[in-house]
Structure 1
Amino acid sequence: MTRIALLQMTSGIEPEGNGTAIEAAMAEAAEGGARILFTPEMALLLDRDRRRAAEWIGGEGPAAMIARLGERARDLGIDLALGSLPVAVSSGKFANRSVYLAADEGSPVTYDKIHMFDVELSTGESWRESNAYEAGREVITVEDTPFGRLGLAVCYDLRFPALFGALGDRRCDAIAVPAAFTVPTGEAHWHVLLRARAIEASAFVIAAAQVGAHEDGRDTYGHSLVVDPWGEVLLDMGDKGPSLGFCDIDLASIDEVRAQVPSLANRREIAK
């Protein structure tokens, strides 16, 4: 068994406070025997006022915070799967970037969210992520984690099976899906999509989520989940607020499921 921890957050507009909360959770997770702590999408800064956020994003803030959290991971002996944070890129836009920081001082592994959330919801909410964010282009895995190969995805990526098919083809043992799901879409689709992706990839899916009412005016769904390769929910952290949850991962179940339902081995290319 490998123990992991998930931090469910209500991230605000001040990166320092969010970073301090993550550091405290890292210490608690390590004390509880976890080998990896997973945090949500935009764990360090959740601010829909892009002009206000740009000063921190465009300065030394992201790099300095990654270095600080990496040092803390090494001190505590725990890996950190930092769900995502905004970083400036050469196009003049931002990237929604996941960062995996290993306790053994290896180089950070990064993944930029591929699918942009551009939508008008029936509630009146409007989101145009592509106005400020550059879409990523690469499928990324972390090859050496305490439970094997970890695939990286972020929030809206969950709706695009091709990405998870590619991660399944790479035989990921687990896939991280940090998120800040809206309440209406979360209530309708969060659980079913995460279970489907776990079944399709025959892998664990680990989804740390934002929850509740945020300083920038949005509300997020919560329900941080761990789903096993059979599609069973092992952990559901609900929607009552920020919290730290633990889950024990049985790696032997991956081979058992792949033997019973060999969909990865049987997959065929479909002509378009």
Structure 2
Amino acid sequence: MTSIRFKAACVQMRSGRDPLKNRDAAAALVREAAAQGADFVQTPEMTSLVCRDRAELFDKVGPEEQDPTLAALREVARERGVVVHLGSIAVKDGDKVANRAFLIGQDGGIVASYDKIHLYDVDLPNGESWRESATYTGGDRAVLAETPWGWLGLTICYDVRFAALYKALAENGASFLSAPAAFTKQTGEAHWHVLHRARAIETGSFMISAAQGGLHEDGRETYGHSLIVDPWGRVLAEGGTEPGVILAEIDTGLVAEARGRIPTLKNARGFQVEAVAATAPAKAASA
């Protein structure tokens, strides 16, 4: 694999309940990243709206062709000549909404879109309860999108816990993987870093994930700590909890180097699972 270098940026946000304010904040941060030399800029999950109230959410979202954040970031991509990965927005999908990501080319055109496959239906020890399936429709296809530097595997947030998805994306050509997120503070503190480093190491790929961070208007608290991790599992850049931009230089040659050192994708083998039941111990013979 030929080594190519480019600058990747993650835009960290604290999106609220006003889609137009969120749109303007996202556009300003993408422009800031471009001004710092970024060639590829990613925003977090739910860039355009963070809102737990289902009725309010449905009132504020529409079809993707009418979404103001998507339109604005397409314009910024065209204006600055950068690739923009819109981490996700909520768009109408029948009687539910889709949690949808977009890759936007340097000309402002939509290269690919991806609907979050794994929905966050959990009950946490601190009493938090989430049922994304009540509001969102889950996707059913993994997506690879072409960039000027190689193939990008698109995923979103909770997907990062499902290693088979990332293995499949890497086996099909992805050099870069992403999980833009709105991770809860509790689960982020426990698992955010180890999950990203594990997905990078397992696949020999870069992990690039922009995040929401801080206390939001709807009362949720997200972890932040946007991350860029290299194929050897080293953290190249990390955010805190405040909105802002992180950048790292990506050397695509490190993908082939890591996969050559430890070729887990090449060495993987199919197998069957065998369950062996315990047998009762034989009774001792009586004298």
The answer (yes or no) to whether the contact 1:7–1:245 under 8 Å persists in 2 is: yes
Equivalent in 125, 130, 146 of residue 127 of structure 1: 130
| Separation (CA, whole Å) in 2 of partners of 1:64 and 1:182 | 26
TM-score (norm 1): 0.95
AA partner of residue 246 (structure 2): G
Residue of 137, 146, 157 corresponding to 2:159: 157
Counterpart position of 1:142: 145
1:2 to 2:6 alignment: yes
**CA distance 1:13–1:62, change in 2 (3 Å):** farther
Verify the 8 A CA contact 2:64 2:70 in the aligned structure 1.
no
Aligned length: 269
Q: Deviations over 1:116-141 (max 9, x none)?
A: 10011111111000001111000001
User: In the alignment, does 2:226 pair up with 1:224?
Assistant: yes
CA shift for structure 1 position 243: 1.1
Task: Read off the aligned partner of 1:127 and give its amino acid letter.
Answer: W
| Local SS of the residue matching 2:174 | coil
Give the Å deviation of 1:62. 4.9
- AA aligned opposite 1:253: L
Going from structure 1 to structure 2, the CA distance change for 1:168 and 1:179 (only over 3 Å counts) comes to: same
The percent of aligned pairs where both chains have the same amino acid is 47
User: Which of the pair has more CA radius of gyration?
Assistant: 2
| Partner of residue 74, structure 2 | 70
Alpha carbons 2:204, 2:259 under 8 Å: kept: yes
Amino acid at match of 1:103: Q
Three-state SS of the structure 2 residue aligned to 1:149 is: strand
- Would the alpha carbon gap of residues 78 and 60 (structure 1) be closer, same or farther in structure 2, given more than 3 Å must change? closer
What are the residue-to-residue correspondences of 1:1-272 with 2, within 5 Å? 1-58=5-62, 62-90=66-94, 92-143=95-146, 145-239=147-241, 241-271=242-272
Give yes or no for contact 1:207–1:225 (8 Å, CA) kept in 2: yes
CA distance in 2, matches of 1:134, 1:58: 15
Contact kept, 8 Å, 1:141 with 1:149, in 2: the verdict is: yes
RMSD: 1.4
